[in-house]
Amino acid sequence: MMLVRDGHVIATVEEERLNRIKLTNKLASGAIQHCLSAAVVQFKEIDRVAFYAAEAIVTPPSRRCLFPAGRFHPLGC
């Protein structure tokens, strides 16, 4: 997870450092919380979220959970 503001890295941490599961494929919720706390930022202040995931694990239910407004761009457009 990396938090970037105006092109500058503000905070970064790997989820596996927090949950101690090597090569974890879980949602990086701990890393997200850590970066937001370190930067004193609330999630509602975030303009964009980008993440990598194998297409097979990004199911329609997870899309609705992560992107309730329907702003999902699978190709990073």
Note the pLDDT tens digit of each residue in 10-23.
988 888 888 787 87
Residue 67 in this model has a pLDDT that exceeds 80:
no
Query: What pLDDT is attached to residue 74?
Result: 56
Token duo for residue 40: 């004193």
Q: Which of 55, 58, 4 is nearest to 27 (CA)?
A: 58
Over residues 20-54, the pLDDT tens digits come to 878 776 777 788 888 899 999 888 888 877 766 66
Structural domain boundaries in the chain: 2-51
